[in-house]
Amino acid sequence: MAKSSLEKALEKYQKEAQKNIKKQIDAEKKLVDKQRREAEKQARITARRERAASIVNGQPTIGSMKVLDSAAEELVSLVCKVNCRDDYRVTNNDVNIPAYLENDLALEFEKLKQYGLISQYGYYITGCWEITILPCLLDYFERKEEAIMEDKQSYNTTTFYGNVTGVQIQQGTVNSSQNQTISQGLNYEEVSDIIEKIKKYDDLLDSEFGDKAEDLRDKIRALEELVEKKENPTKIKLLLTELKNLAIGVSGSLIASGIAAQIPMF
């Protein structure tokens, strides 16, 4: 039996309704997928920003200058070799990035932004990237060297207020030595202050002390334990003397010279 015109119209309406429902479901699914992808993208950006901040905030400060971590310094060194354009843009076509930096290059760019050395960056899934550097990136190493020199000079400046005992100062001499017997009790706070000053340069110790860096860290950890317990001053003086001798044995290092200068003779 042939379908009536009403039945045909109803059947057509039902098909159109089903088609519209399917379109709506597909549209909603696409929207949910898009929102999910966007949320995941933002989560990655937030995680990268927080990870970069933890690294940047953990770096030592010399004077008013934040010292870069070793990976960031390597990247800055590579960028400094590029002939900078007038717009201060640098792209993947300008620099050959080593594999160990390419593994998470977006993180390295985020760190440079938080260090205040680039204003913006773009990193794409194709491996292409571009950054806009700030002029202060180009003279980072000169500023770092100046900051270390100024910090070293500040360590070599001694100011006394009130009565002073048990202090020996020698100036204007080269490769000289002197001995002093300290009879009064050990000042644990002063030793703690020396330890904290040395620890500020922990990220630089490997490059400055080489294979002696870990030995220096071991002595610092031992000193911290003794100072915290306020015990065994003789052992503390011995460790400080070993630290001083270790620093003196490193030639051509401003950091080592600064460490040696602030440790008294026992």
Question: Quick check: 121 and 113 in contact, CB under 8 A?
Answer: yes
Do residues 30 and 79 both lie within one domain? yes
Whether 247 is in a domain gets the answer yes
Sequence-distant (≥ 6) Cβ neighbours of residue 32 within 8 angstroms: none
Query: What is the value of pTM for the model shown?
Result: 0.51
pLDDT value, residue 266: 60
Domain boundary residue among 93, 124, 143?
143
pLDDT value, residue 108: 94
Whether 158 is in a domain gets the answer no
User: SS3 of 198, please?
Assistant: helix
Residue that the structure tokens 């076509």 belong to: 93
Q: How confident is the model at residue 54 (pLDDT cuts 50, 70, 90)?
A: very high
Mean pLDDT of the 48-76 span: 90
Any idea what the Cα angle at residue 175 is, between residues 172 and 181, rounded to 5°? 85
Candidates 206, 207, 224, 227; CA nearest to 215 is 206
pLDDT value, residue 155: 54
Per-residue pLDDT at 181 exceeds 50: no
Do residues 133 and 210 both lie within one domain? no
Do residues 139 and 196 both lie within one domain? no
Domain that holds residue 185: 181-262
Mean pLDDT of the 49-67 span: 89
Any idea what the Cα angle at residue 250 is, between residues 238 and 73, rounded to 5°? 120
Do residues 80 and 187 both lie within one domain? no
pLDDT per residue over 245-260, tens digit each? 888 877 667 788 888 8
Positions of E strands within the chain: 61-62, 65-66, 89-91, 118-123, 129-133
Tokens of 173: 């001499």
Across the chain, what does the average pLDDT equal? 82
Mean pLDDT of the 50-78 span: 90
Question: Quick check: 141 and 124 in contact, CB under 8 A?
Answer: no
pLDDT value, residue 154: 63
Whether 137 is in a domain gets the answer yes
